[in-house]
Amino acid sequence: MANNDLILGQSHSLALGQNQTLVLGHNHNLGLTQNHELDLGTGHDHHLGLGQSHDHDLGLGHSHDHELDLGQSHDQEGDVGHSYRHGNNLTTDRKPDHDDHELTLSENNVLVVSENQELDGNLELAVVDNQEMGIDPARDLQQSQVLVSLPPVLQFRNSNPSYELAVGQEFPDVKSCRRALRDTAIALHFEIQTIKSDKTRFTAKCASEGCPWRIHAAKLPGVPTFTIRTIHGTHTCGGLYHLGHQQASVQWVAHSVEQRLRENPNYKPKEILEEIHRVHGITLSYKQAWRGKERIMAAMRGSFEEGYRLLPQYCEQIKQTNPGSIATVYGNPTDSCFQRLFISFQASIYGFLNACRPLLGLDRTFLKSKYLGTLLLATGFDGDGALFPLAFGVVDEETDENWMWFLSELHTLLEIYTENMPRLTILSDRQKGIVDGVEANFPTAFHGFCMRHLSESFRKEFNNTMLVNLLWDAAHALTVIEFEAKILEIEEISQDAAYWIRRIPPRLWATAYFEGTRFGHLTANIVESLNSWLLEASGLPIIQMMECIRRQLMTWFNERRETSMQWTSILVPSAERCVAEALECARTYQVLRANEAEFEVISQEGTNIVDIRNRCCLCRGWQLYGLPCAHAVAALLSCRQNVHRFTESCFTVATYRKAYSQTIHPIPDRSLWKESSHCDPNANKALDVIIHPPKSLKPPGRPRKKRVRAEDRGRAKRVVHCSRCNQTGHFRTTCAAPI
């Protein structure tokens, strides 16, 4: 492989990639003609070795600069006959008293050769299996060597006819020209540096140092069209030395995934990153993907600020498209910032007052959007036990004052649509604002605490699964005797827990003491039941969130209306199953009749007295659930009465169909709101109202996306047992009980 010359022509570079070594043996000269460079990247160790007793001439053409560039933070070693200076400059100067050349390293890592040196000797270049470039792999590498390592090219330059630019190519405007050049740079793996960009011209070059590629475009006279005037040179860069790309901006990310997001708004930023890496071969940060998605979503659904600004118009649209509905928005009188929003559809009001159980649950969930806020919910229950949303409120923050306002609006709408206010049973948590609001607005209502909130507070206080389970057993107990037995079991385990429970009046939460009719509902359970779609809606702009809720209600009403039309039974399916189970049990009971209405029913569990005129049983099952219990069914069968006639009317299929007989109508697109408002003078007043976003922004950090159920958390934990005191809730090692 000897006597092979390596000649580098004018304007050419020799670039070595990662783990590639240039080895120069003894008596071999590296001849470079004018304007040639040997580039070595950063981040690698480079060994420069020259033998002691050999002459090495590095000759360069007259008046031309030739550099051997070594990246910073490299280790350079020189053998005998060469000096090392702190400057890391490699300089060869002919001295009058020496035949050899002195090589010194300077800080700029530049190999400089004086102009009076000659080109001679032979140069051999060989590529061996281990990616070394050397004279001969069999030669003794102890003699004069230069070992050089370069950074890797992570994105190689390629060619793609779809993205090639040509002189004379035209674009509608300068933005389109920039966009086309950006897409070309990303597709062909090179970065551009803008030199000049204005309304009439655009000039850019390749950002890689030493690459001659350059492009110039200009505007055609009289039209906004831009055309490429010149493209200088071809790319000499090998590609990009990193995985990102300067032109991969947030706007480019948004443009790349716009179609996918329109098809699937739940497309996650992580999936965006994976697709961009797979299609374009570049790696972006999570924040870029998230911002790109937010930019497209804002264009699709509108901004959060615009949502608050359009609230007055949105309320007018609800009233126009759904006559009889209530939709009001309130702003702060001083700065017009958003405070409250109340919406209730006429179909929901009619169905609740005429066909639902007289039971109302109150709950709330925090908004996950850009601005803080709380969504308040008032929900009824239809005859089949499903949630029947009645009213929604959005407030800037959850306070006692806002709960009082929400319950006042709720009482007003119920008074408007009914002459005789039904005596409601209301379920909620123990928040003071709710308690005071119920007492002020629904003084005759039975107010019970939601067991989910109560058990959660109890768990936080004692953290004992067995105690929590006993608390639920006590809440489900139908009689006072059963309730007190469960409380005694709790007291045997922990007197503090029993004391904590007795501080809360049992008439507010225990079935045995509760005076109202809860139909077996111990929890409001609203937010958890609506979690599947309410969590996603809570992160949208306020109008989009309310539209998501309206569409869900509209779908529910239609689906349940159509489903009920296929039922052929007298009672709804859930009530039919309960009556069928009671009939099965009643066949084994012995019934003794006292008069036309009173019966004595004897079973293995004991004796119960049934009064079919007052629809009550000593077990209290009939009164609490609204359906005849097994004892009542046995008494009714003994006197040949129709069991279905003795159920509450809300459980019949006819009443169920009445609950969903009204329709929740769709609302037109916001682009048509102003046109429809011109016909209504009241709507024009709403257009003059300006609502600004609330002042409170969402705190930093990732919000919790899933609400953990108290019951599920209880089932997941294992009950621990102490072998020292035989109590639960702790181990022997942490036991503090006296022995």
Q: What are the pLDDT digits (tens) for 440-456?
A: 999 888 998 888 888 88
Number of domain units in the chain? 5
What percent of the chain stands above pLDDT 90? Answer: 27
Q: Is the dihedral of CA 451, 454, 456, 461 positive or negative?
A: negative
Spatial distance between the Cα atoms of 103 and 517, rounded to a whole number of angstroms: 99
Residue 668's closest CA among 498, 543, 527?
Answer: 543
Query: What letter would DSSP give residue 28?
Result: B
* 432 and 527 part of one domain: yes
Q: Give 292-347 pLDDT, tens digit per residue.
A: 888 887 777 778 888 899 999 999 999 999 999 999 999 888 888 999 999 999 99
pLDDT for residue 709 is more than 90: no
Spatial distance between the Cα atoms of 158 and 270, rounded to a whole number of angstroms: 27
Q: Regarding predicted confidence, which is higher, 186 or 531?
A: 186
Q: Is residue 592 part of a domain?
A: yes
Q: What pLDDT is recorded for position 700?
A: 58
* 546 and 433 part of one domain: yes
Q: Is residue 163 part of a domain?
A: no
Average pLDDT for 604-620: 90
Q: What pLDDT is recorded for position 684?
A: 56
Q: What share of the chain is helix, strand, coil (3-state, %, to 5)?
A: 35, 20, 45
User: Cα 370 from chain centroid?
Assistant: 13
pLDDT for residue 71 is more than 50: no
Q: Is residue 60 part of a domain?
A: no
Average pLDDT for 64-72: 37
E strand or H helix that includes residue 263: helix 250-263
- Band of pLDDT at residue 464, cut at 50, 70 and 90: confident
Q: Is the dihedral of CA 555, 557, 562, 563 positive or negative?
A: positive
* 223 and 336 part of one domain: no
Residue 472's closest CA among 708, 715, 726?
Answer: 715
Q: Is residue 36 part of a domain?
A: no
Q: What pLDDT is recorded for position 151?
A: 61
Of 77-86, 107-116, 621-630, 725-734, where does the model show the most confidence? 621-630
| Least confident window among 79-93, 376-390, 654-668 | 79-93
* 420 and 495 part of one domain: no
Average pLDDT, the chain: 76
- Band of pLDDT at residue 724, cut at 50, 70 and 90: confident
User: Cα 663 from chain centroid?
Assistant: 33
Q: Give 229-287 pLDDT, tens digit per residue.
A: 998 878 888 778 778 888 888 888 888 888 888 888 778 888 888 888 888 888 888 88
Check: CB of residue 635 under 8 Å from CB of residue 601.
yes
Check: CB of residue 338 under 8 Å from CB of residue 691.
yes
Rg (CA), the chain: 41
- CA neighbours closer than 13 Å in the CB half-sphere of residue 175: 2
Q: Is residue 683 part of a domain?
A: no
Average pLDDT for 33-47: 39
Q: Is the dihedral of CA 453, 455, 456, 461 positive or negative?
A: positive
Both structure tokens of 109: 């890592």
Q: Give 169-201 pLDDT, tens digit per residue.
A: 888 888 888 888 888 888 888 888 888 888 888
pLDDT for residue 104 is more than 80: no
Q: Is residue 276 part of a domain?
A: yes
* 210 and 279 part of one domain: no
Q: What pLDDT is recorded for position 685?
A: 58
Q: What pLDDT is recorded for position 141?
A: 39
* 328 and 424 part of one domain: yes
* 501 and 549 part of one domain: no
Q: What pLDDT is recorded for position 537?
A: 82
* 198 and 337 part of one domain: no
* 604 and 557 part of one domain: no
Q: Is residue 462 part of a domain?
A: yes
Mention every residue, 6+ apart, whose C-beta is less than 8 A from residue 531.
706, 707
**Domain-terminating residue out of 282, 301, 320:** 301
| Least confident window among 146-160, 214-228, 393-407 | 146-160
Q: Regarding predicted confidence, which is higher, 54 or 719?
A: 719
Average pLDDT for 418-431: 80
pLDDT for residue 76 is more than 50: no
* 193 and 218 part of one domain: yes
Q: What pLDDT is recorded for position 531?
A: 67
Q: Give 117-143 pLDDT, tens digit per residue.
A: 333 433 333 333 333 334 344 444 344
Check: CB of residue 388 under 8 Å from CB of residue 351.
yes
* 380 and 432 part of one domain: yes
Check: CB of residue 96 under 8 Å from CB of residue 140.
no
pLDDT for residue 679 is more than 50: yes
Amino acid at 4: N
Q: Domain containing 272: what range?
A: 250-301
Amino acid at 482: E
* 616 and 535 part of one domain: no
pLDDT for residue 110 is more than 50: no
Q: Regarding predicted confidence, which is higher, 505 or 418?
A: 505
Burial of residue 414 (number of CB atoms within 10 Å: 0-12, 13-18, 19+): buried
**DSSP result, 129-167:** TTSEEES-TTS-TTSSEEE------SEE----GGG---T
Q: What pLDDT is recorded for position 97?
A: 43
Q: Is residue 238 part of a domain?
A: no
CA 232-233-236 angle, to 5 degrees, is: 140
Spatial distance between the Cα atoms of 225 and 718, rounded to a whole number of angstroms: 72
Rounded to a whole number of angstroms, the distance between the first and last alpha carbons of the chain is 93
CA 116-120-121 angle, to 5 degrees, is: 145
Mention every residue, 6+ apart, whose C-beta is less than 8 A from residue 669.
none
Q: What pLDDT is recorded for position 109?
A: 39
pTM of the model: 0.63
Of 26-35, 89-98, 622-631, where does the model show the most confidence? 622-631
Q: What pLDDT is recorded for position 484?
A: 92
Amino acid at 323: P
3-state per-residue secondary structure call for 501-570 = HHCCCHHHCCCCCCCCCCCCCCCCCHHHHCHHHHHHHCCCCHHHHHHHHHHHHHHHHHHHHHHHCCCCCC
pLDDT for residue 26 is more than 70: no
Amino acid at 314: Y
pLDDT for residue 29 is more than 90: no
Q: Which single residue is written with the structure tokens 């906004």?
A: 224
pLDDT for residue 145 is more than 70: no
Q: Regarding predicted confidence, which is higher, 55 or 214?
A: 214
| Least confident window among 29-33, 478-482, 563-567, 676-680 | 29-33
